Chains A and B, each alone.
Chain A
């Protein structure tokens, strides 16, 4: 059977998201950030193109984060709050289809937005590259910039899955947002924390705390794996096999979250 219902729901979610004022705000903000990045980079010193790329990729990643945090929790909460979800759930499809369709729409929304912002970022970087006052311009790894953006998209998709997961049981969107944010912060730092624990500083840490931290390291998503910004900006080697494994890691994590979300959502009553 074709996933026609899921695609229809994804399409409606995408259209709905694009009409949200918050979405417009985030996109405008991202474009302003990219324009400002040129000015800022021009005022800094040394390899200004490095700063341009830092700012550009950070703008892409910041946009992805904002969209994932807000649109994910907001659109599902709105569906529940306005009770438009009743019309969908009363159709002969499972709750899993609702989760899949909604998530699909959100991913499409974030993906299209990031593609647009990335394109703008590349054009801006190219412009600054051409007009730079440097004696001999450094090499720019264009392919790796695109790759870094793709992994930013993967990261945003993972955060979307988190927000869908938390929305499946949280009673308020603010709670879902807060939980998603908390997991993001933990996921960004588990790698750092485990490094600190393995350093001489970690020798003094109590074993209980250490075990907890290592538990967190394995349960929470290691988001630092998906961060290729530094590799792109400094043109560091990116072994394809490692990249594929990293992508697979993100995709498996997303699937696990969505399956859990479906499981919980199936038991949720629509009051």
Chain B
């Protein structure tokens, strides 16, 4: 009887170890119970379930290949649940603010972050993420500015933050604001596993910004937009066609702006 009860946590432990150890196949997504059920059934071990969902989200996020719509939907639910279970835990807000919007779940991300503001009221990072979302994705610079100034007023905000916010607002280019934000974000990250993806996005955006800048110079010189990146190489603006870190290919859209076939998401190689 006693030994029987002991095996229960052991089983959970092995289950967790197995999930964390085995590479993501994308197939299995753990069930997401209703939040009341999750809150009542985990008694005083709510944080562990929260950690578990975050580990799984990180695994999908860090896994190879693009996330499927089902995975994105699951991640959104898991992050909301994780934030509910352990509302003081930063990681659910980090993923909600910096992963979900890029995968099209902007409104969910904002709702999770706004709840986070109540619990981690001292933390400058949540308004920082929120401000950027309003500024960049929602294109509501006034609302964005409100959150960003909230972030800079936080006593724990890093000294470089006001400067960073000022630059965010001064940037005119499409990618420059995101680049400034990602640089700031990169500085706050502790875990190499989280820094990697941010660095990659930063690299891709930096390249795209440069191409756009060069395309403008090309237009000033030849009074016409380049059709392909090869045009820039031929004209001597680029020594070679730069590679997309996500594995896609950069191209000019008909309106003359730069984009990539990877859509800034991981492309499966092969």
Contacts and interface: CB of A to CB of B under 8 A. Distances in A.
B9 interface: yes
Interface in A218-257: 223-224, 227, 229-230, 233-234, 236
Contacts, number: 105
B47 to A, nearest CB: 4
Given A25-B3, A25-B6, A189-B43, A45 B55 contact: yes
The B contact surface, by secondary structure, is helix
Contacts of A39: 17
Interface stretch (B73-81, B86-94, B131-139, B248-256): B86-94
Given A58-B48, A230-B86, A46 B40 contact: no
Given A25-B3, A185-B43, A55 B54 contact: no
B88 A234 contact: yes
B118 interface: no
Could you say which of B44, B48, B189, B190 has the most chain A C-beta atoms within 10 Å of its C-beta? B44
A219 B48 CA distance: 28
Interface stretch (A81-89, A92-100, A111-119, A130-138): A130-138
Interface residues on A, range: 35 or more
B21 interface: yes
B21 A138 contact: no
A47 B44 contact: no
A25 B13 CA distance: 17
A265 B41 CA distance: 33
A58 B47 contact: yes
Interface of B: 2-3, 5-6, 9, 13, 16-17, 20-21, 36, 39-40, 43-48, 51, 54-55, 58-59, 62, 86, 88-91, 94, 189-195
Interface of A: 22, 25-26, 29, 33, 36, 39-40, 43-48, 50-51, 54-55, 58, 61-62, 66, 70, 133-138, 184-185, 188-189, 192-193, 196, 223-224, 227, 229-230, 233-234, 236
